[in-house]
Amino acid sequence: MTIGQTLTRRRALVNLGAGLCALPALGAFARTAPTPVSGNMVRPPRLRNGDVLGLVAPAGFIADRFGLDEIAATVRAMGLEPRFAPHITAREGYLAGSDEARARDLMTMFADDTVRGLMAVRGGWGSARLLPHLDFASIARKPKLFAGFSDNTALCLALARAGVVSIHGPNAAASWPPSAWDAFRQVAFEGAMPTYSVAAYAGPNLGGRVSPTKTFHGGKARGRLLGGNLAVFTALVGTPWLPDFDGAILFLEETNESEYRVDRMLTQLALAGILGKVAGVVFGQCTHCENPDGGFSNFTVYEVLDRRFAALGVPAFQGAMIGHVAGQISIPVGAMAEIDADAGTIRLLEPAVI
């Protein structure tokens, strides 16, 4: 390394340190984490045509106001009236405004009697930073439906700990093909209890029509649906914001992670004792989960999942349309469900809404 390169690196480290020091100290504003709820969960009111949907940005920022126009058109096509949070266009680095402003937007929407439900406009990073700023006890006393996925996994899991059902499903800025809209409508508007099946695939091979279901361990299991994005989930391990996973149906999804990173995160869940508690596992889609340097680092992602989940001895399969894919299904976080790992199905046993 040349002297010039050394000086450039030192300047970068100094600037990074200054930037980190400028971030707000969350501890000064921290609230007590919600007490884990055992027994029945609180179901929020269902959405109805004409209701106001509060649109919030708990994590990444919206690039421009034209993106908001498209989101508003999508929400109106659902039969709902969009209402954007006050700081929806704010930006602080890679965040949609300060932690305090984003948390205030969420609490404002939860407290507004004219707002029926909330939906995140996008993911990114930043939702976990809001947890100490949110009043989950107040939210649980007067619950509203919250929907989102990816980084919003942090909010869904914290809500589950507080005893409130939410929906792990498309964010407002998603593409919303008919299958995604139909799944969300059934769960959020109708209070239906659908059975989700891994879609059959008409393969070009000699065998013809095959199923993409990968069963790691067969059988059926019942439990509360808990989970979400693998990276966001594992980042909450050791914090007071996770619900109890004893007897749960763990569902996971991931994107843009190499095989060894998926292995590392699953190992963390195993070492933390979480995998040993669950009654069953559904791994949805692992989109673009390949080593960017080429190849698959000796293990394919399916081998990683197979070696980890088969050893649990509980029903486990991969292939559900959960994750960073078009046409994803809507999973009620905290609701009871039954999975059939041989058939590749998830059957809801109770509605997500009242």
Q: Which residues are tagged catalytic?
A: 150, 253, 324
Tell me, what DSSP letter sits at residue 47? P
In the chain, where does DSSP find H-type helix? 3-22, 65-77, 99-111, 127-130, 136-141, 153-161, 178-184, 230-235, 259-271, 301-310
The residues, ordered by sequence, that sit 6+ positions from 142 with a Cβ below 8 Å of its Cβ are: 110
Q: What is the spatial distance between Cα 305 and Cα 216, in angstroms, rounded to a whole number?
A: 8
CB atoms within 10 A of CB 237: 15
Q: Report residue 208 as tokens.
A: 């013809």
Give the bridge partners for 318, in sequence order.
214, 283
* Residue 118 to residues 31, 54, 330, Cα–Cα distance (Å): 22, 5, 15
* Residue 190 to residues 185, 274, 339, Cα–Cα distance (Å): 7, 33, 22
Q: Calculate the CA dihedral of residues 57, 60, 64, 65 and round it to 10 degrees.
A: 0
- Reduced to 3 states (helix: H, G, I; strand: E, B; else coil), residue 76 is helix
CB 316 within 8 A of CB 280: yes
Q: What is the spatial distance between Cα 166 and Cα 19, in angstroms, rounded to a whole number?
A: 34
CA triple 183-228-347, angle to 5 deg: 45
Q: At what angle do helices 301-310 and 259-271 cross, to 10 degrees?
A: 20
